[in-house]
């Protein structure tokens, strides 16, 4: 749902978008016709891309085509929108259970740094609730990563979509925006996001432990 929503929003803003899934481009024909995005095979989706969004179930990350990022533009920024749901969907991922953040694990799997963003907002809100900069109560979205340059790119995209970006620190701190934390799904403004991130505790809630 997040992938389809970002496809709709980014194309509406004038970005060139290629989109892929695990089933083949013909299954994305309706989305492509609706948005003007180009449906391609997953192995080709990053070719020439300046920004790549990985938005698949956590359990499916190891199944992404090997080397799918090789054709991306130099310095391409990779955004991870994923969430780990061991009981509901993904089964046990040992490295995450042993303390690695979800997005650190994704970065290891794909062999490329990532910025964690867009993981905690309901897709319908991402589609419909963007507002101009400076609007009181504008929803804010946290983003975490180890490259300030990469985070600056993602922050600009978040703002362009109509939300306030909030730097949540390095990827090792991205647990603060994972499922079960207060900021997740909160639709807070920037100050509220900062408070929720600061109040988070590292112990994962029982519902999110395999």
CATH code: domain of residue 126: 3.40.50.720
Residue 210 in any domain: the answer is: no
Per-residue pLDDT of 14-68, as tens digits, reads 999 999 999 999 999 999 999 999 999 999 999 999 999 999 999 999 999 999 9
What average pLDDT is seen over the chain? 96
- Inside any domain, residue 66: yes
Question: Does residue 58 sit within a domain?
Answer: yes
The answer to whether residue 117 sits within a structural domain is yes
Query: Domain for residue 162, yes or no?
Result: yes
Count the domains in the chain. 1
In a domain, 79, yes or no: yes
Q: Does a structural domain hold residue 153?
A: yes
Write out the residue range of the structural domain in which residue 79 sits.
2-205
- Which of these, 48, 47, 71, 68, lies nearest to 56 by C-alpha position? 68
Q: Determine the pLDDT at residue 206.
A: 83
The pTM for the full model equals 0.96
pLDDT tens-digit profile of 56-108? 999 999 999 999 999 999 999 999 999 999 999 999 999 999 999 999 999 99
């Amino acid at each position: 749902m997040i992938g389809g929503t970002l496809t709709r929003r980014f194309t509406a803003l004038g970005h060139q978008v290629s989109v892929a899934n695990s089933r083949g481009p013909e299954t994305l024909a309706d989305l492509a016709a609706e948005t003007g995005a180009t449906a391609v095979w997953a192995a080709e989706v990053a070719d020439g891309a300046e920004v790549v969004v990985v938005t698949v179930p956590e359990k499916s990350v190891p199944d992404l085509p090997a080397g799918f990022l090789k054709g991306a533009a130099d310095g391409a920024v990779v955004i991870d929108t994923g969430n780990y749901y061991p009981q509901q969907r993904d089964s046990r991922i040992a490295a995450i259970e042993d303390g690695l953040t979800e997005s650190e694990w994704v970065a290891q799997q794909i062999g490329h740094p990532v910025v964690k963003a867009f993981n905690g907002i309901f897709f319908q809100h991402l589609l419909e609730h963007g507002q101009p900069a400076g609007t009181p109560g504008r929803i804010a979205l946290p983003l975490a990563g180890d490259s300030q340059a990469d985070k600056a790119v993602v922050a600009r995209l978040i703002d362009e979509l109509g939300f306030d970006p909030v730097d949540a620190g390095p990827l090792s701190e991205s647990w603060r925006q994972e499922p079960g934390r207060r900021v997740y799904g909160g639709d807070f403004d920037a100050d509220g996001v900062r408070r929720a991130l600061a109040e988070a505790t590292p112990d994962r809630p029982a519902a999110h432990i395999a």
